[in-house]
């Protein structure tokens, strides 16, 4: 698949992991056999704070049953969010655990206050839906972020992958209806 390798090469050049290959179709029941085909790729911003104009190629797949397309983002990118997941987690940790104010953090990381307020509000709305492995129920923001901070990066990546498997439009900053 020429398009798929092209997308992986694009991500590798930027130092991002390749897009995961889907294990199930988000539109069909969980037990459906693989029936999707590679459907090219699209470009989106890489979320690089040093060079915001960097773009990456994301592989797109098409469900043969419902005739809709879907894609899986690399672990470091979130749907409908221009910043990388690690960068967002650092900002949320500074806001909720370290206790920095929005204005102070905006000056330190050179991000607009409105962007930080938006991320904070979306995170608080999404938090009740997010679950950590081996924990029952939802956590308050500081406890949730402190638990993530103590996890290894591979554990966090697996957690994000799990959230994407359950609902492809679920991310740490919001749930987006398909």
**Residue 54 covered by a domain:** yes
**Residue 78 covered by a domain:** no
CATH number at residue 100: 1.10.10
> Who has greater pLDDT, 171 or 34?
34
Does the predicted model carry a pTM greater than 0.85?
Answer: no
- The confidence band for 166, taking pLDDT boundaries of 50, 70 and 90, is low
Question: Residue 120: pLDDT above 90?
Answer: yes
**Considering its fold, how many domains does the chain have in total?**
2
**Residue 29 covered by a domain:** yes
One domain for residues 103 and 140? yes
The DSSP code for 106 is H
The SS3 assignment for 117 reads helix
**Residue 76 covered by a domain:** no
Q: Which two tokens stand for residue 2?
A: 């020429």
Segment holding 88, helix H or strand E: helix 85-96
Give the separation between CA 143 and CA 97, rounded to whole angstroms. 8
Give the separation between CA 31 and CA 108, rounded to whole angstroms. 47
Q: Which domain does 117 fall in, by range?
A: 85-175
Segment holding 61, helix H or strand E: strand 55-63
């Amino acid at each position: 698949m020429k398009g798929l390798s092209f997308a992986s090469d694009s991500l590798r050049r930027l130092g991002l992991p390749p897009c995961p290959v889907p294990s199930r179709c988000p539109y069909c029941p969980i037990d459906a056999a693989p029936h999707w085909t590679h459907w090219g790729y699209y470009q989106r911003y890489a979320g690089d704070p040093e060079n915001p104009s960097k773009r990456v190629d994301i592989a797109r797949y098409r469900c043969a049953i419902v005739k809709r397309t879907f894609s899986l983002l690399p672990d470091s990118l979130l749907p409908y969010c221009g910043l990388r997941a690690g960068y967002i987690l650092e900002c949320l940790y500074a806001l909720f655990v370290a206790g920095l104010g929005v204005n102070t953090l905006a000056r330190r990381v050179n991000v607009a206050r409105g962007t930080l307020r938006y991320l904070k509000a979306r995170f608080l709305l999404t938090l009740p839906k997010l679950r950590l492995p081996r924990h029952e129920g939802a956590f308050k923001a500081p406890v949730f972020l402190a638990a993530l901070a103590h996890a290894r990066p591979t554990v966090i990546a697996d957690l994000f992958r799990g959230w994407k498997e359950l609902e492809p439009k679920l991310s740490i900053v919001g749930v987006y209806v398909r």
